[in-house]
Chains A and B, each alone.
Chain A
């Protein structure tokens, strides 16, 4: 049985066993996950990271078919999840939840037997010899054969975790989804549990996707990490994802990342309180504000980051590619709900940021009714004497007055109001630059002159 299972896994190796295509999901009105695309290959071991409420558990529930996405598609072996049917999904995806509360005194063996449910006819079906063998095999693999007759509820947390994993194994899954498998355990059982998962991944080729709250354990056990903040902020190996600035912004607290003496993997530690963290320093030093959106700020933000000029970005909608990039590059990101117009509270954040910085870089984002208010803020700030650099749209490097005005108008989707505001901005002394390089020069000069003052 196990060998057949492996063959099943190998047959599809190379193509993703589980994939999400532009999946969005929200409870009631609040959008929780936005436009997620993701491919998980057979045999991979993927850790999901993100602060509480970032949507890790929701993502797992989407992958297991408990929740249906409002938009997009989830594919299991190249076929939409709904088409497999509940039973078909349960034969391929097993879920280990954070904790089971079982109201009856089931024995361990009875619990593991439940894992065979999707393979047994639900009407008067009873487990056959194959099922019995699978159950024994699963208990053996999880190292709980000696517990078979114990009552599940009377076991310790670590033992229960093993029983739940054995139960999932009895489903002969291609994919094992684990929801914070170590959150209730002390350190010995945390390691034991993850070693078990890793062994199953290596020996049986089970694809593993686990939501992890412990960054250190994630770094140690998962070769691929996905960092979540409503959308996927980073998708790479530990070295790239566990970057202090990125973690600080996503988790909202400053951290240090390093390699402890004698260890082979990265460690993440919260910064001591009395030390001024890198992030906080950046924050106080940031003298540039970038307004972007729809990918218009990409080049400018990368250029600023390369030049090691700290900047504040926003307000940006969750799911905007500029937002994802800003989370990686900017020292502070002012965030707005997906698709939502700029709310007054967010606008207040922008206003206070504009009061702090020396320069505003306005990227050629399309102007719609939703972000018109931002432009108004820019005009106010400019009239107060803030240096505003307007990055002109397109590839035009040759600027004469008329052409540039034409360009600005082309970005306006508000029926004239946006154009009017842009004109006011120019009247108030905003500089128009044609290229990112030029903008960077202007920013550098601007910072220097302000410093001299």
Chain B
């Protein structure tokens, strides 16, 4: 008996060390990958700009370097004012949705949970539909058109409503929350269809609405990206502080309470963070599925389920994923642009299935 334990010891140590070595490397590696992908994404488009020039323009933009300008000034305009907002927007949306996915999957202990589960998607869609049929725009139209504002409001209102419906006696049971989400989603989608059917304005905006619903980074100026970026990034940083809470919540609510957690309070905070992130992401990108569902699963397969590592790596992974999907959407049948949502599913699903089938460890729930 003693002999067996002693022999098992060295192997266990090695496994432990490998995990520790790999984990700190994961974040720098993913950061590097994200930078590469961003440069790549900026270099593709209707006007061909050499990769070297792009790097020089971008480095000039940081203010730390100065390369002598040997390129057409319009190239600089295209890079900074046309392509970068879209690419940065994609990265933000991808990171936000992936982190929201991690939060919902961890908190609800459900593998099928995604950021849209408790009403964000249908609420945002309803808001967008209303914006499309209204005959006017906001006075801040140049900064934020009506669509993102109403989409954000719709998403937040719906989540709040779902939470209120699910809450009984000071508790919000997970099952009730899920069911309330499904039911409210159905009702809101029905409302959306009703509005589209009876509205006389519907035909005009229909193509635009369809594009919005399929998902695509439609914003082409910096200010909205910056505002949404501040919200999403601070939401993601907030979520990092909940990594131990999310770990504890995987034991179930009672198990988490035994570890000294205020379960209801934590759940409310997590729902609030995830919903604000999702709503801001959706407001500039429309409904992009699959990023929030699959990214956390892929990262978990590669790096394990501990949230301290899972949250930042998922954020980076989601950003990389969506920048790539957006790139594909612009390249495949250029100059036409395909909705991002198509590629998140078409590329993401096979990749996920490949990982799932090849993972050495059985991926259990």
Contact = CB atoms under 8 A, between A and B. Distances in A.
Interface in B313-365: 361-365
Interface centre among B12, B260, B261, B300 (most CB of A within 10 A): B260
A105 B250 CA distance: 10
Closest 5 CB pairs of A and B: A90-B260, A104-B305, A118-B260, A87-B260, A117-B259
Contacts of A97: 254-255, 258
Interface stretch (B40-48, B61-69, B216-224, B238-246): B238-246
Chain B, interface size category, equals: 35 or more
A140 B91 CA distance: 45
B5 A100 contact: no
A91 interface: yes
B258 A66 contact: yes
Contacts of B83: none
6 contacts: A90-B258, A104-B305, A122-B242, A145-B9, A146-B8, A148-B12
Contacts of B251: 100, 102, 114
A324 interface: no
Interface centre among A101, A103, A151, A154 (most CB of B within 10 A): A103
A311 to B, nearest CB: 44
A245 to B, nearest CB: 37
A97 B258 CA distance: 10
Interface of B: 4-5, 8-9, 12, 15-16, 19, 106, 109-111, 240-242, 244-245, 247-248, 250-252, 254-255, 257-262, 300, 304-306, 308, 361-365
A106 B245 contact: no
A10 interface: no
A97 to B, nearest CB: 7
Contacts of A318: none
Contact of A66 (B109, B257, B308): B257
A123 B242 CA distance: 7
Contacts of A109: 16
B241 A124 contact: yes
Interface in A136-174: 145-146, 148-149, 151, 153-154, 171
Contacts of A115: 259
A145 B8 CA distance: 9
Given A66-B257, A94-B258, A97-B254, 14 more contacts: A61-B254, A65-B257, A88-B260, A89-B260, A95-B258, A100-B252, A103-B109, A104-B106, A114-B259, A117-B248, A118-B259, A124-B240, A145-B5, A154-B362
Contacts of A110: 247, 304-306
Contact of B254 (A66, A106, A123, A171): A66
Contact of B305 (A93, A101, A105, A154): A105
Nearest to B306: A110
A114 B252 contact: no
B261 A86 contact: yes
A86 B9 CA distance: 37
A262 interface: no
Nearest to A90: B260
A128 to B, nearest CB: 13
Contact of B259 (A107, A151, A153, A171): A171
Interface in A13-66: 61, 64-66
A394 interface: no
A447 B306 CA distance: 74
Nearest to A149: B15
Contacts of A103: 109-111, 250, 365
Given A97-B254, A103-B110, A122-B245, A86 B260 contact: yes
A120 B244 contact: yes
Contacts of A100: 251-252, 255
Given A102-B251, A124-B240, A126-B308, A146 B258 contact: no
